[in-house]
Amino acid sequence: MSNCKKAYFSGWGTCKNLLKKCSGVTLQTKGQTWTDATIIAASSWHTAIADDDSSVRSALPFNILNFENTTDDMEILTSSLGHKFKGSDPVPSAVVYLKCGMDDYQWLLDHDGQEYEMFPHFQGNSFWASRKADGTLKGFRCSIALVSGLPPEDKLMSFRMFLFFDEPEEFKNVVVVSPDNWRFSDLINYVPVGLKFRVTTAYSSGNVTVLCEKVGSGDPMTGLSNTADWEIMSSNATPTVVVTAVSEVGLGYYTLTIKKDNDGTPANLTATDYVIIQAHDVDSTPTYLTYLSGSVQIYGG
């Protein structure tokens, strides 16, 4: 069935600028939406990137070294008499080369194949969003793919993230957002400093010892002495699993007491139980994260 509809000519604008180069991207968990007011508010983005509540935190901007549009050419059909027609629209795709380090890329591998909403940011302080039928704004739905293996010869291509978009129609409703009081670099500055930690002793009698360091420098992270600094992200154990005590040993080492609460009586994790945990540090006012680790899975025993 033809999708032709009556079309009307319109006037031309006085601005004839070409499209700017993509200078960064932001990924957001799918299903998140914005209004025209919140999407230009720096405070809204700060909350989405670094709020201390993990259920509110939903976005992460990425500095990139290069952007490559890998969308296939439009399908062109040719009749036996040489007449040409447009076939199907190609599904957009792209690859970005991240400005990051090996530690950053390694934790990002956990997101391989998952779906997100993506906002492309451009030189000149603008970015694109997609307008939904209800009038709200969102990013462009895509799945991401990461590559592990030997490094390429071109160092600028060290850390690749492939973006495979779901729907060409979303790009027919592009909204150009041009905030006045913040830039993409401000979003990057909102991102918490990365931490990495690893288990150094097996879980035993409710306790496990971990080492927490700052990504890049390898300096020990100190001061995570509150139970609230260690958040249980998920677990297969029931009922609720919590960090009940933290002992800072020194030089980035911590002993965590992790228990599951059974009718008010804390119990140790069993051999089949696991928890996924993140460490973070928070500003006192406002409550934004200043440090955030990747996730680590700890098994009971």
Three-state SS annotation for 267-288: ECCCCCCEEEEEEEEECCCCCE
Looking at the chain, which runs of residues are DSSP E strands?
22-29, 59-69, 76-78, 84-86, 93-98, 115-122, 126-131, 137-138, 140-146, 160-165, 174-177, 193-204, 207-214, 230-235, 241-250, 253-262, 265-267, 274-282, 289-293, 296-299
The answer to whether the beta carbons of residues 197 and 211 sit under 8 Å apart is yes
Q: Residue 239: is the preceding peptide bond cis (ω within 30°)?
A: yes
The per-residue pLDDT for 2 is: 55
Tens digit of each residue's pLDDT (9 = 90 or more) over 44-75: 999 999 999 999 999 999 999 999 999 999 99
The per-residue pLDDT for 1 is: 43
* CATH number for region 193-299: 2.60.40
Return the domain boundaries, the chain: 22-190, 193-299
Percent of the chain at pLDDT exceeding 90: 83
Tens digit of each residue's pLDDT (9 = 90 or more) over 285-299: 678 999 999 999 999
The C-alpha atoms of residue 159 and residue 22 are separated, in whole angstroms, by 17
The C-alpha atoms of residue 131 and residue 118 are separated, in whole angstroms, by 13
Burial 201-223 (b: 16+ CB within 10 A, else e): eebeebbbbbbbbbbeeeeebee
Percent of the chain at pLDDT exceeding 70: 97
**Across the chain, how many H-helices and E-strands are there?**
3, 20
The C-alpha atoms of residue 282 and residue 142 are separated, in whole angstroms, by 31
Report strand pairing: 265-267 vs 160-165.
Answer: unpaired
Encoded amino acid at 154, one letter: D
Which range, 136-140, 150-154, 213-217, is most confident? 136-140
